[in-house]
Structure 1
Amino acid sequence: MSRERKASMPQDSQQEPSVAPRSRGRRIRRIVVWSLAGILVVCGVTAYALYSHLNGNLSKVDIDAALGTDRPKNVDNGSQDILVLGSDSRSGANKGLAGGDTGGTARSDTAMVVHIPAGRAKATAVSIPRDTLVTRPECTTEAGRKVPEAQRVMFNSVYTTAGPACVVKTVEKMSGIRMDHYVEIDFAGFKDLVDALGGVTVTTEQAINDKDSGLSLDAGTHRLDGTRSLAFVRTRHGIGDGSDLGRIGLQQKFMLALLSEIKNQGVLNSPTKLYAIADAATKALTTDSGLGSLTSLADFGKSLKGLNPDSMDTVMLPVAYDKKDPNRVVAAEPQAGDLWKALKADEPVPASAKKSPAQGG
Structure 2
Amino acid sequence: MTVRNSERGDDGGAADRQVGRRPRLLKAAGLALAGVLALGVGTAGWAYWHLNDNIKSVDIDSALGDDRPPATVPSPSPSSTASPLPSGALNILVLGSDSRSGEENAELGGGDSGGARSDTAMVVHLDEGRSEATVVSIPRDTLVTRPSCPLPSGGSTSVAYNTMFNSAYSVGGPVCAVKTVESLTGIRMDHYVEIDFSGFSKLVDALGGVTVTTDEDIDDEDSHLKLEAGTHHLDGEQALALARTRHGVGDGSDLGRIGLQQTLVKALLDQVSSTNLLTSPARLYQVADAVTGGLTTDTGLDSLGGLMSLGQSLRGLTSADVTTVMMPVVPAPSDRNRVVADEPEASELWASLR
TM-score by shorter chain over 0.5? yes
Deviation, structure 1 residue 89: 3.3
Equivalent in 301, 323, 334 of residue 333 of structure 2: 323
CA deviation vs aligned residue, 1:228-252 (integer Å, no higher than 9, x gap):
2111111111111111011100000
**Contact kept? 2:214, 2:229, Cα under 8 Å:** yes
- Give the C-alpha shift of residue 96 in structure 1: 2.9
Q: Which residue of 1 aligns with 2:241?
A: 231
AA partner of residue 95 (structure 1): A
Q: Can you list the C-alpha shifts for 1:284-320, whole angstroms capped at 9, x where unaligned?
A: 1111111111121112111111111221000101111
Structure 2 equivalent of residue 47 of structure 1: 44
Letter in 2 for 1:35: A
Runs of 4+ more than 4 Å apart: 8-25, 101-104
Cα RMSD after superposing both structures? 2.6
Give the 3 Å change call, closer, same or farther, for CA 90–273 of structure 1 in structure 2: closer
What fraction of aligned residue pairs are identical, expressed as a percent?
54
Partner of 1:127: 137
Mean Cα displacement is larger for which, 311-320 or 258-267?
Answer: 258-267
Q: Could you tell me whether the CA contact under 8 Å between 2:141 and 2:164 is conserved in 1?
A: yes
Deviations 1:184-239 (CA, angstroms, capped at 9, x unpaired): 01112212222222321110111112222222111111111222211111111111
Deviation at 1:25, TM superposition (A): 4.6
Match in the other structure for 1:275? 285
Shift of 1:22: 5.3
Q: How does 1:168-187 map to 2 (within 5 A)?
A: 168-187=178-197
Partner of 1:98: 109
Cα contact 1:135–1:149 (8 A) shared by 2: yes
Cα shift readout 1:14-49 (whole Å, capped 9, x = no counterpart): 987886665445434433433332222111111111
User: 1:288/1:17 Cα in 2 relative to 1: closer, same or farther (>3 Å)?
Assistant: same
Q: Residue 215 of structure 2: which of 196, 200, 205 is its match?
A: 205
Equivalent of residue 269 in structure 2, options 259, 267, 284: 259
Range 260-269 or range 86-95, more displaced: 86-95
Unaligned segments of structure 2, at least 5 residues: 76-87
TM-score by length of 2: 0.88
* Structure exhibiting the larger radius of gyration computed from Cα positions: 1
1:66 aligns with 2:63: yes
Q: Tell me how far apart the structure 1 counterparts of residues 113 and 47 of structure 2 sit (CA, whole Å).
A: 35
Kept after mapping to 2: 8 A contact 1:199/1:225: yes
3-state DSSP of counterpart to 1:216: strand
Q: Taking structure 1 as reference, are residues 119 and 13 closer, same or farther at Cα in structure 2, changes over 3 Å only?
A: same
Q: In the alignment, what sits opposite 2:84?
A: none
Deviation at 1:85, TM superposition (A): 0.0
- CA deviations 1:85-113 (Å, max 9, x no partner) are 000238433223228x8795001100000
* Aligned residue number for residue 54 of structure 2: 57
1:90–1:98 Cα contact (<8 Å) kept: no
Asked whether the equivalents of residues 89 and 105 of structure 1 are also in contact (C-alpha less than 8 Å), the reply is yes
Q: 1:222 aligns with which of 206, 214, 232?
A: 232
1:7-22 alignment runs, 5 A limit: none
Q: Out of 58, 78, 86, which is 2:96 matched to?
A: 86
1:348 maps to none
Alignment partners' CA distance in 2, 1:13 and 1:236: 90
Q: Distance in 2 between matches of 1:255 and 1:12?
A: 80
